[in-house]
Chain A
Amino acid sequence: MASEKVHSHDHSHWSDMELKVKTLESLLVEKGYVDPAALDVIVETYEKKIGPRNGAAVVAKAWSDPDYLDRLRDNATEAIAELGFSGRQGEHMQVVENTPAVHNMVVCTLCSCYPWSVLGLPPVWYKSAPYRSRAVSEPRSVLKEFGVDLPDGVRISVWDSTAEMRYLVIPQRPDGTDGWNEEQLADLVTRDSMIGTGLAVSPEEVST
């Protein structure tokens, strides 16, 4: 359902859009270009099945299993496919790892390229002009707007997705998680931490 109060676009013509889109869909169906049931499958896939929990499973495994991390570094597309995540907008994956010295952050300045297979569809802010324009020129300020205040010595590496390579940030594993299993660890991995506009959640934040 539309959540018009919390969304920043002008929604005054939204009912017009419902009509316009219904009209177009019935035309495309009548012309024989699309099967409406197949369109339902596309919606279902990206609304319910594919989302940031996929990426969180990849990160949790990377934190837990050094051999898996090696495979991710060597060929992320294949390593991610081991967990069953592949396909559209995830055909060519690259992981980038945060360390105490380097923080990675992903953007697409030219359009909205985003690793659908592991994160689902991008949020509105990722596709917005403010993020696309400033992530490359003033990433530290942008991170502050997300509540991430990096120490001065940390270098920021920004990856502009200008090709079909799709980047997944492996955030740093939070302290105090020794002995945690992959399922527990995955709960600490937020969508934003895998775009690089957030950090993984600490155990204290989960328990409160």
Chain B
Amino acid sequence: MNGLHDMGGMQCYGPVVPEENEPVFHADWEKRALAMTVGMGFTGQWNIDISRHARESLPPDFYLTKSYYQIWLAGLQKLMLERGMVTPEEITTGKAEVPGIAVKQVVSAPSMPAALAAGGPVEREANSTSEYAIGDKVRTANLNPLGHTRLPSYARDKTGVIVLVHGFHVFPDTNSRGEGEDPQWLYSVAFDSQELFGPHAESGNMIMVDCWESYLERA
């Protein structure tokens, strides 16, 4: 989806403003918003690609003006509402009107450290050999899908060189639509900064983008 989240190369956002001695959280509610988002992920009702798409497809004015954890919270509510896990009234009152739906798991406190330490690896056993090798010249597709994709708009229809072959990874474009993992070879592709941003861009930089095989063709 061509959306505001796809920020690479935009020129309208001003300087980067780091905060001196920044705390991990800026308010107690941020802690609970993080914990609920991570905790609800363990219920197994969606995957990471579905949750990323829930956030990036929020209304653009909301996405641009709200804080990070407000966006997380809105994404979480959207995912739960879509699945009938909660109702809008329940979100307002905080009181359950109907019983919860059955979920795959509820991680208990004693099990949580192990669950966090396990994470969610996305590398799968390869069922093909990789099409490209380090040093191969490739061109990215000019993809503009309506749903989730991880090929940023600034890196579409551009020529680069394979610099790393990472392995055989779950494909977010299908996984985010609930159409299966469709794992593919994943590569780091290096692009010259002026190939991406034109002759007046800073010269001599390389930008590496992780690209699944179906984003690429031989150049």
Contact = CB atoms under 8 A, between A and B. Distances in A.
User: Are A and B genuine complex partners?
Assistant: yes
A160 B86 contact: no
Task: Give chain A's interface residue range (CB within 8 Å of chain B).
Answer: 35 or more
Contacts of B91: 23-24, 27
Nearest to A25: B32
Contacts of B7: 109-110, 129, 132-133
B209 A120 contact: no
Contacts of A94: 164, 166
Which among A127, A133, A192 has the greatest number of chain B C-beta atoms within 10 A?
A133
Given A34-B40, A136-B8, A26 B109 contact: no
Given A3-B23, A8-B17, A92-B121, A14 B95 contact: no
A171 interface: no
B109 A37 contact: yes
Which among B112, B116, B170, B193 has the greatest number of chain A C-beta atoms within 10 A?
B116
A46 B70 CA distance: 18
Given A18-B29, A124-B19, A30 B205 contact: no
Interface in B48-87: 48, 52, 55-56, 64, 67-68, 70, 73, 77, 85-86
Contacts of A89: 119
Given A6-B20, A28-B36, A165-B166, A38 B109 contact: yes
B157 interface: no
B13 A163 contact: no
Interface string B4-25: 0111111111111111101111
Contact of B22 (A39, A123, A138): A123
Contacts of B24: 46-47, 51, 120-121
Given A27-B94, A33-B43, 16 more contacts: A7-B26, A18-B28, A24-B77, A32-B106, A33-B85, A35-B107, A37-B109, A38-B39, A40-B35, A124-B26, A130-B15, A130-B16, A137-B193, A155-B204, A163-B186, A164-B122
29 contacts: A2-B27, A3-B23, A6-B20, A14-B27, A17-B29, A21-B36, A23-B93, A24-B73, A31-B86, A31-B96, A34-B36, A38-B107, A41-B116, A42-B112, A51-B24, A88-B119, A109-B152, A109-B154, A121-B24, A125-B16, A133-B11, A133-B13, A136-B9, A137-B8, A138-B202, A146-B16, A160-B155, A164-B48, A164-B169
